[in-house]
Amino acid sequence: MTLPTLFIPHGAGPCFFMEWTRGGKGEWDRTAAWLKGLIAGLPERPKAILIVSGHWEEPAFTVGSAERPPLIYDYYGFPEHTYQLRFDAPGAPALAHRIADLLTKAGLPAAEDPARGYDHGVFVPLKLVTPDADIPVVQLSLKSDLDPETHLAVGRALAPLRDEGVLIVGSGMSWHNMRGFSPAFTAKSQAFDAWLGEAMADPARRDEAIRHWDQGPYAREAHPREEHLAPLFVAAGAARGEPGRVAFRDQVMDVVVSGYEFGG
């Protein structure tokens, strides 16, 4: 069974685990409900999850190989209880080594980090996806140049894992402008999101659209820096030639955000 690949919106900080006053109490409820149903919607339960977060960049692709990764509370100014959240999913050192090997054989220099923990782009959404933390998780960094072609190539190199029970997940946001969450950006986010959805759906043009994503409507207003979009490149690259679809769409904090599924 070949698993699909996913791109998920991981929200704003620990947004799913606190009272969110902006936009109303239920601002993130629909996103949370979608994340909670992800595993049940797959053709089979994954043996492991490989996740690429917009919150880890390295000069070379680096894979976390800790057996019991700690949590990195890399958000600021949130309620005290959100710094006590737990997500105790085990790592998978053997899988981490295989990931590094696949990348190296594809000509993509890779390293392993035996101490790196899960940042909030990992543990915040995965607490909803796997609340029992019973699926091993391995995190892979972005490469700090954020080159689209390189990240597509990483996805292609890792595609064999889909036939081995590994769910490949990109974790970011389809709109990520910290100064662009307001009604003034609603129409722009709708335009960018519509363009992105059409581009991801068509495997014949998807890679080219990703290479030139910044030519999409309001692209640089959606992503002044593309670290939260780059995980999408990896997820798409791992399903090269296969259709994509918008698996989730909502308007939160006055802008449209989407999640994607490829292949499957």
**Model confidence pLDDT, tens digit, residues 125-178:** 999 999 999 999 999 999 999 999 999 999 999 999 999 999 999 999 999 998
Question: Is pLDDT at 123 greater than 90 in this prediction?
Answer: yes
pTM of structure? 0.97
In this structure, are residues 96 and 112 in contact, taking their beta carbons and an 8 Å threshold?
A: yes
**The predicted structure's pLDDT at residue 178:** 82
What is d(CA 155, CA 168) in angstroms, rounded to the nearest whole number? 9
**The predicted structure's pLDDT at residue 40:** 96
Domain boundaries, the chain: 5-262
For domain 5-262, the CATH architecture is 3-Layer(aba) Sandwich (3.40)
**The predicted structure's pLDDT at residue 21:** 56
261 in helix, strand or coil?
strand
Residue with tokens 């998780």: 137
**The predicted structure's pLDDT at residue 20:** 67
**The predicted structure's pLDDT at residue 116:** 97
